[in-house]
Each structure stands twice: as structure tokens, then as C-alpha cells.
Amino acid sequence: GEDVEQSLFLSVREGDSSVINCTYTDSSSTYLYWYKQEPGAGLQLLTYIFSNMDMKQDQRLTVLLNKKDKHLSLRIADTQTGDSAIYFCAANYGGSQGNLIFGKGTKLSVKP
Amino acid sequence: EAGVAQSPRYKIIEKRQSVAFWCNPISGHATLYWYQQILGQGPKLLIQFQNNGVVDDSQLPKDRFSAERLKGVDSTLKIQPAKLEDSAVYLCASRPAGIGGAITAGELFFGEGSRLTVL
């Protein structure tokens, strides 16, 4: 069945760039998303990319999509301690509006 | 604009007891979702409503879980009887309907979740 996989942990120093990677299996996924979850909070959409795009930049965030390899990455420039959170990759599937499969999440730790 | 409201935030019950969670989506959002997030995992879709009709409940354990969305606004998710493996955060999310049902990039707005612990 459909699946989304991502590495579980990433640790960086404040000011460095963070790169979180994700792979997905459903080639029909139209949109791919990055959500952020802080402790005790719900998920917050960070950014998304349409499947016919290779790259999307939004301030400190850069999303790269390799559709051939079904690989998605999120780069956070100048990572701050406030960026510490769990980041979820998600892909829509099955052609249904808004049904998302989520990865297990990557816990980003930013050290001062 | 008020966000997605969920209650209770925390609930502790013993196995075989029942529990109900409530969700009030953002006003005007036609689509409502319930997700289950087990510790250390990503959210998993349980059920999707479009207005007051069920669109997808293929992953809902129907022998113990039920959900309804009367009048197409608020929704309740019930578990009866609860099992230990039901310990999780239950997330409600909503989004406005896409034009003509087309797939859109429309953001899912999540509530803060209801954390269930089954002892």
C-alpha cells in the first residue's frame, strides 16, 4: 500500500542548515506537504509543493521534489532553536481530496 | 478566526470502558477528518466526512469505533470498548471544500488533539 518514510532524528547547531528527507510510494500523489508539530500541539502546515514542480522556496524554507525517485526534502536555512519540533512529510493519495498519508516524523533538535 | 476545537484534551480510562471525543471544525469547512496518532508515529486517517456524509472510513475499526457528524458541523468519535492499543492522540482536522470536488492544495487545519490513555 501507500507509504511515506522519513528519518526519525536530526540534530543541528543553531545557524546551520537542516535538511529533512522523505520518500513516498504513491506516484499519483498530486501534492506533497511538510507539517510541523510542537510538543502538545496539533500539526501546522509549513509548506507544500505541487507534483509538477521541482522546487519551492518560502523564506527560510526550500522544498525539493524529485518525482522520478519519489523523494522530497525540506531545507531550513539558518536553523533556530525555535525550529525544534517534529516535522512530518505527507502525501495525498487515491485521488481523494485531502486524504493524506503521513510519515512517522523527523524530530529536529537544534543546539545553541 | 477560531481554530478547530477539540475536547477533552486528556482522558484516562481503563480498558473495556468507553470514551467520546468532540470536535468543532472551523466555521464553513465542509470536510472533517479524524486521525489517530500513536506515540512515535504519524497521524493515520480514521474517517473523513464531507458535510454530514462519510467519504472514507476504510481504516476505522468499526467493531469498536464509531463517528458521526450530525448537521454537518460538529463531530463525535466514540470508542467502545477501549483497548490498550487505542492509547493515542486523536486529532480532528477540517478544510473547506474544493471547487467541484477537485483536488486542491487546501490546507488541513488541525486541532490540538485529545490524548487518550487506556490503562
* pLDDT tens-place string over residues A12-25: 999 999 999 999 98
Interface contact flag, B42 A104, Cβ < 8 Å: yes
User: pLDDT tens-digit profile of B1-29?
Assistant: 689 999 999 999 999 999 999 999 999 88
Mean pLDDT confidence for A34-46:
89
Regions of chain B with pLDDT less than 70 = 1, 97-106
Grid cell locating A72: 522530497
CA gap A65, A72 in Å, rounded = 5
CA closest to A8 among chain B residues: B40
Cβ(B84)–Cβ(B54) below 8 Å: no
Within its chain, how far is the Cα of B75 from the centroid?
Answer: 8
A103/A1 Cα distance (integer angstroms)? 13
Whether B48 and chain A come into contact, CB under 8 Å, resolves to yes
Q: How far is B90 from chain A (nearest CA, A)?
A: 10
Mutate to test the interface with B, among A28, A100, A106 (most CBs of B within 10 A): A100
**Are the beta carbons of A88 and B40 separated by less than 8 Å?**
no
- Does A60 have pLDDT greater than 70? yes
**Number of A–B residue contacts, CB under 8 Å:** 65
The CA-atom distances, in angstroms, between B48 and each of A51, B10, B81, B111 are: 23, 23, 22, 15
The residues pairing with A34 across neighbouring beta strands, listed in sequence order, are A47, A89
Residues of chain A found within 8 Å of residue B95, distances taken between Cβ atoms:
98
Residue B2 confidence (pLDDT) = 80
Contact A58, A76 (CB under 8 A): no
Q: Find the distance separating the first CA and the last CA of chain A, reported in whole Å.
A: 41
